[in-house]
Amino acid sequence: MTNESVIVPPPQQPDIGFVGLGRMGSAMSANLAATGHRVVAYVRKPDQADRLSALGLLGTTDISDLFGCGVVISMLPDDEAVRDVALGRADIGSRGLVQGLAPGAIHLSMSTISTAMASRLAREHAQRGQSYVAAPVFGNPDAAKERQLYILAAGAADDVAHCQSLFDSMGQKTLVVGTEPWHANLVKLLGNMMSATALEMISEAVAVFLKRGLDPKPFIDIMTSTMFGGRVHKIYGDKIVKQSYAPGFVMPLVLKDVRLALAEGEAAGAPLPSVDVVRDRLITGIARGYGNLDWTGLGLIAAEEAGIGPSRPIIANPSPVL
CA 123 to chain centre: 22
Rounded CA separation 321/68 (Å): 25
User: Cβ distance 172 to 150 under 8 Å?
Assistant: yes
Rounded CA separation 254/293 (Å): 11
Q: Which residues are catalytic?
A: 188
User: Cβ distance 285 to 294 under 8 Å?
Assistant: no
Q: One-letter amino acid identity for 121?
A: L
Q: One-letter amino acid identity for 147?
A: R
Rounded CA separation 143/134 (Å): 20
Q: How many alpha carbons lie under 13 Å from residue 150 in its C-beta half-sphere? A: 11
Rounded CA separation 276/265 (Å): 11
> Where does residue 129 fall: left (phi above 0), alpha (psi -120 to 50 degrees), or beta otherwise?
left
ω into 248 cis (within 30 of 0)? yes
User: Cβ distance 108 to 166 under 8 Å?
Assistant: yes
Instruction: Say how many C-beta atoms besides its own lie within 10 A of residue 45's C-beta.
Output: 13
Rounded CA separation 28/39 (Å): 11
Give me the DSSP letters along 69-117. Answer: -SEEEE--SSHHHHHHHHH-BGGGTB--HHHHSPTT-EEEE-S---HHH
Beta bridge partners of 16: 39, 71
